[in-house]
Structure 1
Amino acid sequence: MPQPEKKLDPTASPQEWFGYELRTRRKAEELSARALGRLVQVSDDVILNIEKGKYPSCQCDLAKRLDDILGTGGVFDRAWPMAFDPRDADKNRADADKRAAARAEGTVLVRAGRILGSDEPPSRPGSHDPVDRRSFLQASGLAAIAPIEVTQAFAPSSLALPESIGASHIDQIQEVATAISGWDNKFGGGGMVRDVAGRAMQWSAGLLQAQCPQYLRADLFAAVSRLGIVVGASAFDSYAHDEATTTFKFAADCAEEAGDWHLRAKTYSFLARQAVWIGQPDDGLTYAEKGLVRRDRLTATEQAMLQTARARAFGKLGNVRDCMAAVGEADDAFAQSRPAEDPPWMAYYDEAQHNGDTAHALFDLAILAGQDPGRAASRFYTAVKGHSDAFKRSRAISRTKLAALMMAKGDPQQAAVIGHDALDEVGRLTSRRAADDLRQLGAFASKHPRVQEAVGLRERITATVSA
Structure 2
Amino acid sequence: MPAHFWWSEHMLAALSSWHMGRVIYAYRTHPIHGGQPIAQKRVAYWLDLTQAQLSRIETGPAPELLTKLIRWARVLRIPAELLWFKMPAGSTLDEVNRNDFLRAAAAVTATAAASPHSLLQMLNDTRLTEIPARVGTAEIEQLRAASDLFAGWDALYGGGLVREVVAAQLRVAVSYLRAGCAPKHRNGLYSAVGALSHTAGFMAFDACAHSDAADMFDLALKCAEEADAWQLRAKILSSMARHRIWTGKPKDGLRLTQKAFLYSDRLTATERAMLYTTQARAHGKLGHVQAVTTAVGRADDQFSHSRPTEDPTWMNYYDTAQHAGDTGHALFDIAVHGKFGSEARRRLGTAVADHTADAERSRTISMIKLASLTMSTGDPDEAAEIGSIAIARAAGLKSMRAAEDVHELRSYARHAGRAFDQVPAE
TM-score by length of 2: 0.70
* Long gaps (5+) in structure 1: 1-140
2: distance between equivalents of 1:186 and 1:196? 16
Pairwise CA distance, 1:370: 2.7
* One-letter amino acid matched to 1:380: L
2: distance between equivalents of 1:398 and 1:159? 43
Contact 1:151 1:199 (C-alpha < 8 Å) held by counterparts: no
* One-letter amino acid matched to 1:423: I
1:342 to 2:311 alignment: yes
Contact 2:98 2:128 (C-alpha < 8 Å) held by counterparts: no
2: distance between equivalents of 1:142 and 1:285? 36
Contact 1:197 1:231 (C-alpha < 8 Å) held by counterparts: yes
Which residue number corresponds to residue 165 of structure 2?
196
1:276 to 2:245 alignment: yes
* Long gaps (5+) in structure 2: 1-81, 86-96, 106-122
Pairwise CA distance, 1:158: 6.5
Pairwise CA distance, 1:157: 6.5
Pairwise CA distance, 1:161: 2.0
Which residue number corresponds to residue 80 of structure 1?
none
1:232 to 2:201 alignment: yes
Which residue number corresponds to residue 143 of structure 1?
84
* One-letter amino acid matched to 1:333: Q
Structure 1's 281 and 157: CA in aligned 2 closer, same or farther, altered over 3 A?
Answer: farther
* SS of corresponding position for 1:446: helix
Which residue number corresponds to residue 341 of structure 2?
373
Which residue number corresponds to residue 249 of structure 1?
218
Which residue number corresponds to residue 380 of structure 2?
412
Which residue number corresponds to residue 388 of structure 1?
356
* SS of corresponding position for 2:84: helix
Which residue number corresponds to residue 79 of structure 1?
none
Number of corresponding residues: 313
2: distance between equivalents of 1:270 and 1:142? 27
1: distance between equivalents of 2:355 and 2:208? 24
Structure 1's 151 and 213: CA in aligned 2 closer, same or farther, altered over 3 A?
Answer: closer
1:265 to 2:234 alignment: yes
* One-letter amino acid matched to 2:141: D
Pairwise CA distance, 1:361: 1.1
2: distance between equivalents of 1:150 and 1:431? 28
Pairwise CA distance, 1:313: 0.1
Which residue number corresponds to residue 101 of structure 1?
none
Which one of 375, 390, 401 corresponds to residue 369 of structure 2? 401
Q: Deviations over 1:152-188 (max 9, x none)?
A: 8348877842111021111110111111011111110
Structure 1's 188 and 220: CA in aligned 2 closer, same or farther, altered over 3 A?
Answer: same
Which residue number corresponds to residue 397 of structure 2?
429
Pairwise CA distance, 1:410: 0.4
* SS of corresponding position for 1:266: helix
Which residue number corresponds to residue 28 of structure 2?
none
Structure 1's 165 and 374: CA in aligned 2 closer, same or farther, altered over 3 A?
Answer: same
Q: How does 1:28-427 map to 2 (within 5 A)?
A: 143=84, 151=101, 153-154=104-105, 160-191=130-161, 193-367=162-336, 369-427=337-395
2: distance between equivalents of 1:310 and 1:228? 23
Pairwise CA distance, 1:142: 7.6
* SS of corresponding position for 1:252: helix
1: distance between equivalents of 2:131 and 2:100? 18
Q: Deviations over 1:60-80 (max 9, x none)?
A: xxxxxxxxxxxxxxxxxxxxx
1: distance between equivalents of 2:370 and 2:231? 31
2: distance between equivalents of 1:459 and 1:162? 58
Pairwise CA distance, 1:424: 2.1
Structure 1 window deviating more from structure 2 (394-403 vs 247-256): it is 247-256
Which residue number corresponds to residue 62 of structure 1?
none
2: distance between equivalents of 1:271 and 1:150? 30
2: distance between equivalents of 1:284 and 1:446? 30
2: distance between equivalents of 1:269 and 1:331? 17
Pairwise CA distance, 1:143: 1.9
Which one of 402, 407, 411 corresponds to residue 439 of structure 1? 407
Structure 1's 142 and 416: CA in aligned 2 closer, same or farther, altered over 3 A?
Answer: farther
Q: Deviations over 1:343-381 (max 9, x none)?
A: 1221110110011011111000112x4313111100001
* One-letter amino acid matched to 1:143: W
2: distance between equivalents of 1:459 and 1:280? 35
Structure 1's 159 and 272: CA in aligned 2 closer, same or farther, altered over 3 A?
Answer: farther
* SS of corresponding position for 2:131: coil
Which residue number corresponds to residue 95 of structure 1?
none
Structure 1's 385 and 337: CA in aligned 2 closer, same or farther, altered over 3 A?
Answer: same
* One-letter amino acid matched to 1:347: N
Q: Deviations over 1:134-153 (max 9, x none)?
A: xxxxxxx9827xx9979583
* SS of corresponding position for 1:143: coil
Q: Deviations over 1:370-400 (max 9, x none)?
A: 3131111000011011111100000000000
Which residue number corresponds to residue 38 of structure 2?
none
Structure 1's 251 and 142: CA in aligned 2 closer, same or farther, altered over 3 A?
Answer: farther
Cα-Cα RMSD: 2.2
Q: Deviations over 1:399-437 (max 9, x none)?
A: 000000000110000001111111221110010000000
1: distance between equivalents of 2:365 and 2:286? 21
Contact 2:201 2:217 (C-alpha < 8 Å) held by counterparts: yes
Pairwise CA distance, 1:448: 2.7
Structure 1's 326 and 148: CA in aligned 2 closer, same or farther, altered over 3 A?
Answer: farther
1: distance between equivalents of 2:292 and 2:100? 44
Contact 2:158 2:361 (C-alpha < 8 Å) held by counterparts: yes
* One-letter amino acid matched to 2:341: P
Contact 1:445 1:458 (C-alpha < 8 Å) held by counterparts: no
